Amino acid sequence: MFILLVRGLTLPGASAGLRFFFTPQWSRLLDPAVWYAAVTQSFFSLGVGFGALTTYSSYNKFHHNSYKDALIISFADTFTSVLAGTVIFAILGHLSYELGVPVKDVVKSGAGLAFVSYPEVISKFDIAPQIFSILFFLMLITLGFGSATGLISNVITVICDAFPNFRRSYVTAITSIAGLLIGLVYVTPGGQPLLELVDYYGGSLLVLILALIEIIAIAWVYGASNVIKDLNMMLKTDLGYYWKICWTVIVPVSLSLILSYAIYDYKPVSYDSIVLPVFAQSIGWAMTALGVTLVPVFMIVKACQNRDGSGSVFSSSINWGPKVTEDWSDWIRSKEVTPRWVELPEIQKAKVEINSEVEEKGSICLEFNQDIHNFSPSEQDESLAFNNSSRLLPSTKLDFNIEHSETFYICESESLN
């Protein structure tokens, strides 16, 4: 990229392209189309809303500093985008100089930037242009493989998590072959218009809708305060109110306004100034509707699973929380409120003033392993014959005094029979 930058800057007319690139047009900030294009580009560039970031982060250690990673990736992505834009517009300035047309009319956005602009500057190399051509397209295919790997890994992880008995190697092979066969459609003579159709309906519009639903679920259903507490405990830092305001107000409102504009100012997808037929547009809308419909479908499935009233669609499951025991204990301690079914001594003593001594009637030692938070009353030993099985792990009442050691929690009860 730096080699292309140096060669591009030395071409005649490059300065005109750079002036076009770096000269701000402040009036365009009032154009909603600019914000829509900027958001969709950021989503594609950073992979926001596609699930790949969530999938890869699940492989990190629990206390891994993802906050630092996010900052590094954001700044690196911005720098790379500016670098690539400088190279491209230097080349466009040169083409404008040779063709005698304005820079904005040289080449349109899309695949033409990668397969017209870059090869143009490579052809201007005086020394071994063929070698640089090979290196450039190797770089291009490497970037493509990187993006494809992230998205495909997301699909593979979802399938393997939903069906643990499936061998990951088989799932990877089938998913990759399916992606290859589907991708062959885009290299046919009509593949480019189809790519534009899928990019708009299955990429930009659908991802924007799902990202809005996701931020509402995180910030308002689960709660931004809970998210900040969890991240503070995981990252051992204090995120403050800035992120809470962003997640609860700025991001949802911005995405809602941008999405509303995209729907209000809808124009059928076109290719080479030719509007695609109504049948193709209908397939695109069906693609978007299918992706959005999955959200209420899974909500209905969740509601059917909780018909006994044990939980709400919007409540977290009993398995929610860190997997490792030590992390889970730290997570419980980080909560300001008393947990639903486990009380640790620090929380108990902070919230309840013990005015009388409790007569000791028995003690139970429970070994906390990685599956302690998966414990349910149905797993109890029937020989214990408790009158109220749900009292084995206390609720919000002071039924137990719990002493913590490295391996055991010792529960002293006044009500166990």
Domain layout of the chain by residue ranges: 189-315, 325-413
> Cβ–Cβ contacts within 10 Å for residue 155, how many?
18
* pLDDT reported for residue 406: 42
Q: What predicted TM-score, i.e. pTM, was given to this entire model?
A: 0.72
State how far the alpha carbon of 287 is from the alpha carbons of 177, 204, 339, 378, in Å.
21, 12, 42, 43
State how far the alpha carbon of 194 is from the alpha carbons of 113, 156, 200, 290, in Å.
19, 25, 10, 18
> Cβ–Cβ contacts within 10 Å for residue 362, how many?
11
Q: What token pair was written down for 186?
A: 């885009």
Helix (H, G, I), strand (E, B) or coil at 150: helix
Element (H, E) at 288: helix 278-305
Mean pLDDT by 10 residues, the chain (417 residues): 81 86 87 86 84 84 87 89 86 82 72 68 76 82 83 89 90 92 88 88 89 92 88 86 91 92 88 87 93 90 74 73 78 62 43 41 40 45 38 40 42 42
Contact at 8 Å (CB) between 219 and 250?
A: no
* pLDDT reported for residue 216: 93
Helix (H, G, I), strand (E, B) or coil at 415: coil
